[in-house]
């Protein structure tokens, strides 16, 4: 399975490279590409077989995202969000699941952040009023279904509590015409991901369109390894994979440029200069080391998930190796961008696109500095549970 989807992803790379300027200009993934990615099964890659998915592993998802990112980071990002947004499928009602799976190759999008509220209209709980704003809604302009995290409230506005006496968390599932998608994705990088914000204001939905985290935990799928794998690690790891893919392509791009470019004031090509040799050797060694750690920690966590809940140590390693993969990739891309000089600044250069895209990717909360702070507290023995990992 893994090799099949890696081969499929490889088949997109040249087209994604060739259409990079178009993807950036439209500020979303062209629908024809999104539709073909859906037809090939990328958006349901890790969705369980029982829910009409492919049932692939987190490592498979990372590999696919890494390969696609060598062609275009925005395209890989949309696959990442589309695939992980189906994480809540085991928690949805039978009626909603039927609607979600009646189209075999559904394009989905969603924001996990609980930045909305769902308030019961009355004590029956049959209807809810949804209000909120969800940012970084990647792929929402391509999707047939879009979800957003919500906190549940009673008719009087008080938060409903889950079995642990914490505010109950859920996902609301929207059709695109039920929400307002804002035209606010004007960014330096990942332009083609279409990561617009979307809002809902007093939107009434039937109860079957709300899926709770508690329902996920009690579902039959909760016993599957994909749901024993660290949740935050799973949601973050494609970011590391995408960064690694862009970094690898940046090295390849710099090597290609160096063979034909003779810097101003020199009589040797860039490829003949010792300074460039050092730059590319350091970049390659750094990237291979970060990639090795990244996939090793995914494999360790997955092996644990086969038999039970993953250990705190595996959760820590998974998150830190993902953040490290992003940080290392930034360093590699920056080095390659600088090493080839002015050639890298033009729009047709893959180097400038990777440079912009990786710096935007690094701003995602799942790979931000607080992750390392939390991991450091675990490593220091200060935090023995760290649910945020």
What's the pLDDT at 359? 98
- Annotate 130-146 with DSSP letters as a single string: EEEEEEEETTTTT-SEE
Nearest CA to 328 out of 357, 361, 291 is that of 291
Give me the residues of the chain with pLDDT under 50, please.
none
Q: What contacts 103, CB < 8 A, 6 or more positions away? A: 144
What's the pLDDT at 124? 85
Nearest CA to 138 out of 75, 72, 90 is that of 75
Average model confidence (pLDDT) for the chain?
95
Residue with structure tokens 């088949």? 11
pTM of the model: 0.97
> Taking the CA of residue 69 as centre, how many other CA atoms within 13 Å lie in the half-sphere pointing to its CB?
32
Alpha carbons 221 and 350: distance in angstroms, whole number: 41
Alpha carbons 184 and 188: distance in angstroms, whole number: 12
Q: Give, in degrees to the nearest 5, the angle at Cα 58 between 140 and 67.
A: 70
> Taking the CA of residue 21 as centre, how many other CA atoms within 13 Å lie in the half-sphere pointing to its CB?
5
Residue 327: its H or E element: helix 312-339
Enter the tokens of residue 79. Answer: 């696959």
Nearest CA to 274 out of 286, 282, 284, 264 is that of 282
Alpha carbons 122 and 42: distance in angstroms, whole number: 40
Structural contact between residues 77 and 16, judged by C-beta atoms closer than 8 angstroms: no
C-alpha torsion angle, residues 84, 26, 8, 293 (rounded to 10): -50
> Taking the CA of residue 36 as centre, how many other CA atoms within 13 Å lie in the half-sphere pointing to its CB?
11
Q: What are the structural domains of the chain?
A: 2-84 (1.10.540.10), 108-212 (2.40.110.10), 229-379 (1.20.140.10)
Nearest CA to 341 out of 274, 261, 280, 281 is that of 261
Question: Reduced to 3 DSSP states, what percent helix, strand and coil does the chain have, rounded to the nearest 5?
Answer: 55, 15, 30
Enter the tokens of residue 161. Answer: 């509590």
Alpha carbons 160 and 134: distance in angstroms, whole number: 21
Q: What contacts 5, CB < 8 A, 6 or more positions away? A: 41, 42, 45, 54, 56, 60, 63, 64
């Amino acid at each position: 399975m893994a090799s099949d989807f890696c081969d499929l992803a490889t088949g997109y790379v040249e087209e994604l490279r060739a259409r990079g300027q178009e993807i950036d200009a439209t500020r979303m993934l062209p629908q024809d590409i999104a539709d073909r990615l859906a037809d090939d099964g990328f958006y349901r890659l890790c969705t369980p077989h029982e829910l009409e998915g492919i049932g692939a592993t987190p490592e498979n998802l990372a590999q696919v995202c890494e390969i696609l990112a060598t062609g275009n980071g925005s395209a890989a990002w949309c696959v990442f969000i589309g695939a992980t947004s189906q994480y809540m499928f085991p928690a949805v009602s039978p009626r909603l699941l039927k609607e979600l799976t009646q189209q075999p190759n559904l394009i989905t999008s969603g924001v996990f952040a609980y930045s909305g509220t769902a308030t019961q209209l009355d004590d029956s709980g049959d209807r809810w009023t949804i209000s909120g704003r969800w940012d970084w809604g990647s792929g929402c302009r391509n999707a047939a279904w879009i979800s957003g995290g919500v906190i549940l409230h009673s008719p009087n506005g008080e938060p409903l509590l889950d079995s642990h006496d914490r505010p109950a968390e859920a996902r609301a599932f929207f059709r695109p015409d039920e929400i307002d998608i804002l035209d606010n994705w004007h960014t330096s990088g990942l332009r083609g991901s279409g990561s617009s914000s979307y809002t809902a204001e007093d939107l009434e939905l039937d109860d079957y369109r709300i899926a709770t985290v508690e329902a996920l935990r009690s579902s039959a799928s909760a016993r599957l390894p994909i749901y024993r794998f660290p949740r935050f690690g799973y949601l973050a790891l494609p970011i590391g994979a995408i960064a690694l893919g862009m970094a690898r392509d940046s090295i390849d791009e710099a090597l290609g440029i160096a063979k034909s470019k003779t810097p101003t004031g020199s009589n040797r090509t860039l490829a003949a200069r010792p300074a460039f040799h050092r730059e590319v050797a350091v970049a390659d060694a750094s990237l291979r080391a970060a990639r090795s750690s990244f996939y090793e920690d995914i494999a360790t966590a997955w092996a644990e998930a086969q038999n039970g809940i993953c250990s705190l140590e595996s959760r820590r390693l998974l998150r830190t190796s993902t953040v490290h993969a992003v940080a290392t990739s930034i360093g590699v891309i920056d080095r390659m961008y600088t090493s080839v000089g002015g050639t890298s600044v033009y729009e047709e250069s893959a180097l400038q696109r990777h440079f912009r895209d990786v710096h935007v990717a690094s701003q995602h909360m799942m790979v931000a500095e607080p992750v390392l702070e939390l991991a450091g507290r675990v490593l220091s023995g200060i935090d023995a549970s760290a649910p945020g990992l």
